[in-house]
């Protein structure tokens, strides 16, 4: 159960992005809030100017959980908040080990429905209530960067309230070093064409609503650009199949129209043969129908998993 102090500080009702009515959002927010278990390590605090917190949700991310949390801390964030959504692999064990020695807080999310935008809004609000000035809503398969400095340093010098992050996908390829267990280090097929969508880091106001996928925020304020993401959406055949099938099941429990998350709904219903053909297409860099994260090209063999700052701005497509 979420603590009383958090109930008093959750964001005011903002109209969700899209056509979702306010009453529906209120109901979803209440349900999501009632399924969050906040650790005692998190306490309400006044906002600390310049403080940067990173927040995320995870479900069965044992292959990337440690790397991505350490990467965010290496980018200078003051704390990382992870909402673990009923993981049944080693993710909870890995996160507990990180929380025991680092500024990492583990929130338990016990609601099986997807509702990512609503859940992430609540977790971001939780970070704000604990003193965060800036909040970075990230996914477990993303490495965030700035050019020439850390992400936190970039945000601390930003005058805007919303900073956009450009996304470049990194796909599996036939040339991957299969002896490397860490997918952030194994995958090197870097798509130089950025995604058509971006993500956002925010200096949250009292009223805000993150969209599904953390692709935008319903909040006033000036905007600027300058952050970058290396995104590793598909890291192995097994991970891809599990991700798509879990996403389809979780979306079925939401209020979203059927065209929301269509790639999860369609591809998550495929059998192993269809999914293996899709995975081969990813390895070969072919555009794929029904996949939101599809190869475009050209590709370059790069190793963003080992970067501290963004390195390819001048060579990337506009």
| Same domain assignment for residues 196 and 246 | no
> In terms of domains, do 223 and 242 share one?
no
Looking at 208, 231, 254, the residue that finishes a domain is: 231
DSSP structure class, residue 316: S
* 303 falls within a domain: no
Q: Give the whole-angstrom CA distance, residue 203 versus residue 201.
A: 7
One domain, residues 97 and 241: no
Whether 308 is covered by a domain: the verdict is no
Domain boundary among 201, 216, 231: 231
Task: Specify whether 224 is located in the same domain as 246.
Answer: no
CA 21-23-24 angle, to 5 degrees, is 70
> Would you say residue 13 has pLDDT above 80?
no
Structural domain contains residue 316: no
Could you report the per-residue pLDDT of 96-155, keeping only the tens digit for each?
999 999 999 999 999 887 688 999 999 999 999 999 999 999 999 999 999 999 999 999
The verdict on 130 and 205 lying in the same domain is: yes
Q: Do 248 and 162 fall into the same domain?
A: no
Contact 240, 263 (CB under 8 A): no
Enter the pTM of the model.
0.88
Structure tokens at 178: 């299969």
Return phi, psi of residue 98, to 5°: -70, -40
Assess if residue 21 is contained within a domain: yes
Question: What DSSP string runs through 55-69?
Answer: EEEESS-TTTHHHHH
54 bridge partner residues: 80, 136
37 and 86 share one domain: yes
137 lies in the same domain as 263 = no
- Residues 91, 73 share a domain: yes
Of 130, 112, 116, the closest CA to residue 40 belongs to 130
pLDDT at 255 over 70: no
Secondary structure class of 145 (helix, strand, coil): strand
- Our count of domains for the chain comes to 2
pLDDT of res. 21: 46
Give the residue from 231, 260, 284 where a domain finishes.
231
Answer for the pair 140, 134: CB distance below 8 angstroms, yes or no. Answer: no
> Nearest 10 degrees: CA dihedral of 76, 40, 42, 71?
20
Same domain, 77 and 171: yes
pLDDT value at position 112?
82
Note whether 214 and 97 are same-domain residues. Answer: yes
DSSP collapsed to 3 states, 209-226? EECHHHCCEECCCCEEEE
Domain coverage including residue 139: 4-231
Strongest mean pLDDT among 20-24, 25-29, 35-39: 35-39
> Is residue 305 one of the residues assigned to a domain?
no
On whether residue 304 sits in a domain, the answer given is no
pLDDT band, very low/low/confident/very high, at 317 (cuts 50, 70, 90): very low
* Domain assignment of residue 106, yes or no: yes
Q: How far is 68 from 91, CA to CA, in rounded Å? A: 12
* Strand 162-171, strand 209-210: pairing: unpaired
CB 252 within 8 A of CB 112: no
Shared domain for 211 and 241, answered yes or no, is no
User: What CATH number has the domain bearing residue 175?
Assistant: 3.90.550
CB atoms within 10 A of CB 135: 29
Q: Is 317 a domain residue?
A: no
3-state secondary structure at position 187? coil
Query: What's the pLDDT band for 242 if we cut at 50, 70, 90?
Result: confident
Residue 137, Cβ density class (10 Å: 0-12 exposed, 13-18 middle, ≥19 buried) = buried
């Amino acid at each position: 159960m979420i603590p009383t102090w958090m109930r008093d500080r959750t964001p005011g009702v903002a109209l969700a992005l899209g056509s979702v009515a306010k009453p529906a959002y209120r109901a979803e927010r209440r349900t999501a809030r009632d399924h969050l278990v906040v650790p005692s390590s998190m306490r309400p605090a006044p906002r600390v100017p310049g403080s940067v917190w990173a927040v995320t949700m995870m479900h069965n991310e044992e292959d990337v959980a440690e790397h991505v949390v350490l990467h965010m801390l290496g980018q200078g964030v003051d704390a990382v908040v992870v909402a673990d959504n009923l993981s049944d692999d080693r993710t909870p064990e890995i996160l507990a080990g990180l929380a025991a020695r680092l500024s990492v807080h583990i929130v338990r999310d016990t609601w099986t429905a997807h509702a990512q935008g609503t859940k992430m809004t609540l977790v971001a609000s939780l970070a704000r209530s604990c003193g965060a000035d800036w909040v970075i809503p990230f996914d477990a398969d993303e490495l965030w960067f700035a050019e020439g400095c850390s992400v936190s340093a970039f945000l601390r010098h930003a005058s805007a309230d919303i900073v956009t992050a450009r996304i470049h996908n990194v796909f599996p390829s036939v040339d991957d070093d299969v002896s490397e267990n860490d997918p952030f280090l194994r995958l090197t097929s870097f798509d130089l064409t950025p995604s058509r969508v971006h993500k956002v880091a925010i200096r949250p106001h009292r009223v805000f609503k993150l969209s599904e996928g953390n692709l935008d925020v319903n909040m006033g304020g000036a905007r600027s650009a300058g952050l970058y993401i290396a995104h590793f959406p598909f890291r192995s055949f097994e991970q891809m199949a599990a991700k798509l099938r879990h996403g389809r099941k979780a979306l079925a429990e939401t209020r979203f129209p059927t065209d929301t998350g269509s790639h999860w709904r369609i591809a998550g219903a495929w059998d192993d043969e269809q999914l293996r053909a899709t995975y081969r297409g990813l390895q070969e860099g072919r555009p794929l129908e029904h996949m939101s994260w599809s190869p475009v090209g050209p590709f370059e063999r790069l190793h963003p998993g080992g970067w501290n700052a963004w390195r390819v701005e001048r060579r990337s497509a506009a």
